[in-house]
Amino acid sequence: MQEVVSSFAGMAIGSYTIRSRLTTGKDCTLYLARDDRGSTVVVKILDLASDIDSARFMLEINTMATFRHPHIVPMLSHGKGAHFLYYAMPWYRSGTLSNLLTGKLMPIPLACDFAVQTLRALHYCHKRHIIHRDVKPDNLFLDDTRLNYLLLGDFGIIHDDASGLTDDRKTVGTPEYMAPEQCTGEPIDARADLYAVGCVLYHLLSGKPPFPLPLDNSNGWIACMYRHVHDAPTDVREHNPNVPAALWAVLAQLLAKEPDERQATAEVAALHLRSFVDA
């Protein structure tokens, strides 16, 4: 894979000229590129090294190609080369929600608004039987032209019952934002994404996720996942006394260990949080 990927800089792929590498993940590499109108975009490229990788990448492409939602990162185009698959998407210079996590407490209406925007995107996904499985600040992009406007991105590890694609990595996701059932590798449904939104909202309101990764432990991800499964989150009001009791009740329900105890849908959760946006 590395031999092919390392040769992409400077190449013309479809209507894009690859400029520089942004980041390399487990399976794919992201590049900054320029389209034929001179606009900067991001191109995600997968070397065709294994059948499972290409099948999962094609699921990502096919899913994004059909999505049309104001809070989901749009796909611009996709294609195939001799030894690779790719798709293009906008480049958001403003970065992601992680850029706003400065250690300071976010205003409560803004934090809840970000959660509501994310839940609206997820409701759209869930109605189409897509579970994101990796909702986190790094995957929530800040629009460059609209203030405090989020778009959900990175559909690389989605779960789709209709795809028939099995995943050898049953425990997938980002430990600080994973639902208990996700941590244990049990079957999941859309309510795992609701738990992740709860973790993101907790982070925005308190300055840290409910179960942060231990910095002094090389196996900290194991300890973090254990806590998701076994420990109750600290009342967010201990970190931020301005949080109303009613908001903590909604957040605590999102963070319930049992999926049946969470809100039934992303739409219901968004409705519960909406009143705190307008407060």
Enter the tokens of residue 87.
Answer: 């798709």
What DSSP letter does each residue of 165-224 carry, written as one string? ---S--S-S-GGG--HHHHTT----THHHHHHHHHHHHHHHHSS-SSPPPTT-TTHHHHH
Angle at which helices 191-206 and 245-254 pack, to 10 degrees? 140
**Cβ-proximal residues to 164 (8 Å cutoff; 6+ apart), any chain:** none
Q: Is 134 a catalytic residue?
A: yes
Q: Give the C-alpha distances (Å, rounded to integers) separating 118 from 27, 140, 193, 204.
A: 25, 8, 10, 13
Catalytic residue among 27, 47, 113, 134: 134
Q: Within 10 A of 150 (CB to CB), how many other CB atoms are there?
A: 24
Residues identified as active-site? 134
